[in-house]
């Protein structure tokens, strides 16, 4: 069957199996930032935005996003995404990097709907992302810094 | 991936969804999809997506005193509803926030959580202590049933082949009601090793009605009727909380699984029951 969806701003028609998950379809079609980690919805390495909501693509059937607007980290190209990237680098929030696309998608989703989050809200937004390197401290700092920067501008 | 799935349907109405399901006994309804996508079940050969049926309405009708939640409303949307945050002292929003992680709650739906509930389901435990009705489409007719009674008796035969349309939560006694939800799990987004919900309707501290439900026993939630009956008519207080805590493990069927032992569950049931009632007492005393 075919999946018609807008992925990172481009209207695409992709051939899918009715029982396969979105993660597999995205990776097969070159969206390699979407990582396969646990494949049980726990680690968040496969996080994408579906019509603006952060979801793990390993727990969604590809056919469920028929007609939806999907964004992976490659498709986040506005001021917010740029500021998040810069601050993740500046704060040393990236070590091995495997989890980072998913973390950035979660952070982007949070700041899009809540531009001035508390630390608790940041932690809650990241509770679906596992990072085994950083302990999250630098990532939380980077998200706070981004919120402050964009709040000032 | 469910390799054996050959067809994925997008019905335009409840009737069409039901008819597709009747045609193929190995077809499954999909709402949020999270449970089935994670399973390695060999059973489904057709998937019927009910996400496009407009069953995602979410309304707090303060005049009628009820909350109506469409079956495909995401759990996160219920949590974020400003009106729902303020009713029942935030019980529904705060307890649903204990489920899974943010992205799972974004995809997961209340309706989907009820059709094939996991034994550790927090949703069943939470809804068991509220005045909840479930409306569903079954065998060509629309039915509305009391949630607790449905789950005590025949929910599998009723809901497994049904499309849930909505949940209605009655708020009639809301101003005289206090409730709390407790969950013991090994990490923030791990499933419960034991969960417990308690709701008390009172008249100036005297208990008019008590509801206590315990889930992940490791079986699906059940109401603890013996404790509920003991509490009715009593004055809320710390000593009463301790007595109820002592009674709870004996009044429940608790077992072992790979998470924790039955003995551990008994200790937890005692502590969580005591804490829940004490917490409600403190809230009511404010």
Q: Which residues of B49-63 are buried (b: 16+ CB within 10 A; e: fewer)?
A: bbbebebbebebeee
> How far is the C-alpha of B284 from the C-alpha of B286, rounded, in Å?
6
The rounded Cα B1 to chain-centroid distance in angstroms is 28
* Chain A residue numbers touching B102 (CB-CB < 8 A): 54, 106, 124-125, 127-128
Q: Can you give the pLDDT at residue B262? A: 97
How large is the average pLDDT for residues A98-127?
96
Q: Where are the domains of chain A?
A: 2-74, 76-152
Enclosing domain of residue B70 = 58-170
Closest CA to A62 of A110, A107, A13: A13
Is residue B263 domain-shared with residue B183, that is, in the same domain?
yes
* Chain B residue numbers touching A66 (CB-CB < 8 A): 10
B11 touches chain A (CB under 8 A): no
Q: Is residue B231 part of a domain?
A: yes
The rounded Cα B26 to chain-centroid distance in angstroms is 26
How large is the average pLDDT for residues B11-38?
89
- Give phi and psi for B135, each to the nearest 5: -110, 130
B284 touches chain A (CB under 8 A): no
Is the pLDDT score of B43 beyond 90?
Answer: no
Whole-number average pLDDT of chain A: 96
- Give phi and psi for B90, each to the nearest 5: 80, 5
Q: Which of B94, B102, B185, B187 to mutate to test the interface with A (most CBs of A within 10 A)?
A: B102
Residue B140 belongs to domain with CATH number:
3.30.465.10
* Chain B residue numbers touching A64 (CB-CB < 8 A): 30, 33, 49, 51
Q: Can you give the pLDDT at residue A115? A: 96
Give the DSSP H or E segment for B144.
strand B141-146
Whole-number average pLDDT of chain B: 93
pLDDT band at A112; cut points 50, 70, 90: very high
Q: Can you give the pLDDT at residue B32? A: 87
- Three-state SS for chain A is CEEEEEECCEEEEEECCCCCEHHHHHHHCCCCCCCCCCCCCCCCCCEEEECCEEEEHHHCEHHHHCCCEEECHHHCCCHHHHHHHHHHHHCCCCCCCCCHHHHHHHHHHHHHHCCCCCHHHHHHHCCCCCCCCCCCHHHHHHHHHHHHHHHHC
Is the pLDDT score of B158 beyond 90?
Answer: no
Q: Can you give the pLDDT at residue B93? A: 96
How large is the average pLDDT for residues B217-239?
96
Q: Can you give the pLDDT at residue B66? A: 95
Å from B27 to nearest chain A CA?
12
B239 touches chain A (CB under 8 A): no
Strand B131-138 with B66-70, pairing = unpaired
Q: Is residue B122 part of a domain?
A: yes
- Which residues of A have a CB under 8 Å from any CB of B? 1, 17-21, 24, 40-42, 44, 47, 50, 53-56, 58-61, 63-64, 66, 106, 124-125, 127-128
**Residue B195, Cβ density class (10 Å: 0-12 exposed, 13-18 middle, ≥19 buried):** buried
Homologous superfamily, domain A76-152: [2Fe-2S]-binding domain (1.10.150.120)
B176: left (phi over 0), alpha (psi -120 to 50) or beta: alpha
Strand partners, B7: B46
Establish whether this prediction's ipTM goes over 0.95: no
Is residue B28 domain-shared with residue B88, that is, in the same domain?
no
* Chain A residue numbers touching B6 (CB-CB < 8 A): 18
Give residue for tokens 């980072």: A100
Is the pLDDT score of B188 beyond 80?
Answer: no
Is the pLDDT score of A88 beyond 80?
Answer: yes
| For B37, nearest residue in chain A (alpha carbons) | A59
Is residue B72 domain-shared with residue B113, that is, in the same domain?
yes
How large is the average pLDDT for residues B167-171?
95
> How far is the C-alpha of B28 from the C-alpha of B286, rounded, in Å?
48
* Chain A residue numbers touching B97 (CB-CB < 8 A): 124
Is residue B180 domain-shared with residue B281, that is, in the same domain?
yes
Q: Is residue B2 part of a domain?
A: no
Strand A10-15 with B131-138, pairing = unpaired
* Chain A residue numbers touching B76 (CB-CB < 8 A): 53
Q: Is residue B53 part of a domain?
A: no
| For A126, nearest residue in chain B (alpha carbons) | B102
Is the pLDDT score of B170 beyond 90?
Answer: yes
Q: Is residue B116 part of a domain?
A: yes
Q: Can you give the pLDDT at residue B179? A: 96
Tell me the three state secondary structure of residue B266.
helix
Q: Could you say which of B34, B188, B189 has the minimum Cβ distance to residue A59?
A: B34
Is residue B276 domain-shared with residue B184, that is, in the same domain?
yes
Q: How is residue A97 written in tokens?
A: 């990097």
pLDDT tens digits for range A21-79 = 999 999 999 999 999 999 999 999 999 999 999 999 999 999 999 999 999 999 999 99
> How far is the C-alpha of B144 from the C-alpha of B252, rounded, in Å?
28
pLDDT band at B25; cut points 50, 70, 90: confident
| For A46, nearest residue in chain B (alpha carbons) | B103
Q: Do A55 and B107 touch (CB under 8 A)?
A: yes
Residue B220 belongs to domain with CATH number:
3.30.390.50
Q: Can you give the pLDDT at residue B217? A: 96
pLDDT tens digits for range B69-113 = 999 999 999 999 999 999 998 999 999 999 999 999 999 999 998
Q: Do B107 and A60 touch (CB under 8 A)?
A: yes
Cβ atoms B19, B27 nearer than 8 A:
no
Give the DSSP H or E segment for B16.
helix B14-23
Q: Do B49 and A63 touch (CB under 8 A)?
A: yes
| For B32, nearest residue in chain A (alpha carbons) | A60
Q: Do B103 and A17 touch (CB under 8 A)?
A: no
Q: Can you give the pLDDT at residue B6? A: 94
Q: Can you give the pLDDT at residue B81? A: 95
Least confident range of A95-99, A116-120, B32-36: B32-36
> How far is the C-alpha of B114 from the C-alpha of B124, rounded, in Å?
7
The total number of structural domains in chain B stands at: 3
Is residue B185 domain-shared with residue B208, that is, in the same domain?
yes
> How far is the C-alpha of B15 from the C-alpha of A123, rounded, in Å?
43
Is residue B256 domain-shared with residue B186, that is, in the same domain?
yes
Give residue for tokens 């019980």: B91
Strand partners, B206: B203, B235
Q: Which of A14, A16, A19 to mutate to test the interface with B (most CBs of B within 10 A)?
A: A19
> How far is the C-alpha of B176 from the C-alpha of A55, rounded, in Å?
38
DSSP state of B74: B
The fold for domain A2-74 equals Ubiquitin-like (UB roll) (3.10.20)
Q: Could you say which of A19, A40, A50 has the minimum Cβ distance to residue B5?
A: A19
């Amino acid at each position: 069957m075919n999946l018609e969806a807008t992925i990172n701003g481009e209207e695409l028609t992709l051939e899918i199996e009715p029982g396969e998950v979105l993660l597999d379809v995205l990776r097969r079609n070159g969206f390699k930032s979407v990582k396969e980690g646990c494949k049980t919805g726990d680690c968040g390495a496969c996080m994408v935005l579906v019509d603006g909501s952060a979801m793990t693509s390993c727990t969604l059937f590809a056919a469920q996003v028929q007609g939806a607007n999907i964004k992976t980290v490659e498709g986040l190209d506005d001021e917010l995404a740029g500021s998040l990237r810069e601050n993740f680098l500046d704060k040393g929030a990236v070590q091995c990097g495997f989890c980072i696309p998913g973390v950035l998608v979660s952070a982007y989703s949070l700041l899009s709907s809540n531009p001035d989050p508390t630390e608790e809200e940041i932690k809650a937004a990241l509770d679906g992302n596992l990072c085994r390197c950083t302990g999250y401290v630098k990532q939380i700092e980077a998200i706070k810094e981004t919120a402050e920067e964009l709040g000032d501008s | 991936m469910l390799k054996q799935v050959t067809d994925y349907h997008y019905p335009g109405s409840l009737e069409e969804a039901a008819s597709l399901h009747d045609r193929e006994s190995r077809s499954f309804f999909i709402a949020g999809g999270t449970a089935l996508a994670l399973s390695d079940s060999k059973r489904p050969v057709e998937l019927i997506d009910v996400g496009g049926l407009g069953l995602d309405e979410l309304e707090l009708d303060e005049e009628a005193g009820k909350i109506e939640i469409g079956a495909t409303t995401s759990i996160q949307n219920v949590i974020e509803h400003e009106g729902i945050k303020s009713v029942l002292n935030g019980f529904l929003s705060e307890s649903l926030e204990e489920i899974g992680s943010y992205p799972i709650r974004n995809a997961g739906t209340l309706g989907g959580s009820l059709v094939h509930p996991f034994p550790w389901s927090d949703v069943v435990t939470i809804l068991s202590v509220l005045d909840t009705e479930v409306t569903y489409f079954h065998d060509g007719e629309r039915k509305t049933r009391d949630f607790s009674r449905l789950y005590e008796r025949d929910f599998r035969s009723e809901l497994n082949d049904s499309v849930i349309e909505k949940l209605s939560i009655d708020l009639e006694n809301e101003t005289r009601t206090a409730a709390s939800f407790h969950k013991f799990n090994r990490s923030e987004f791990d499933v419960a090793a034991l969960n417990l919900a308690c709701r008390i309707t009172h008249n100036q501290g005297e208990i008019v009605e008590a509801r206590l439900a315990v889930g992940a026993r490791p079986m699906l939630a059940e109401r603890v009727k013996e404790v509920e009956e003991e509490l009715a008519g009593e004055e809320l207080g710390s000593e009463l909380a301790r007595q109820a805590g002592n009674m709870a493990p004996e009044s429940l069927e608790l077992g072992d699984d790979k998470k924790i032992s039955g003995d551990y569950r008994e200790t937890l049931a005692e502590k969580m029951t005591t804490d829940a009632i004490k917490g409600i007492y403190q809230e009511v005393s404010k």
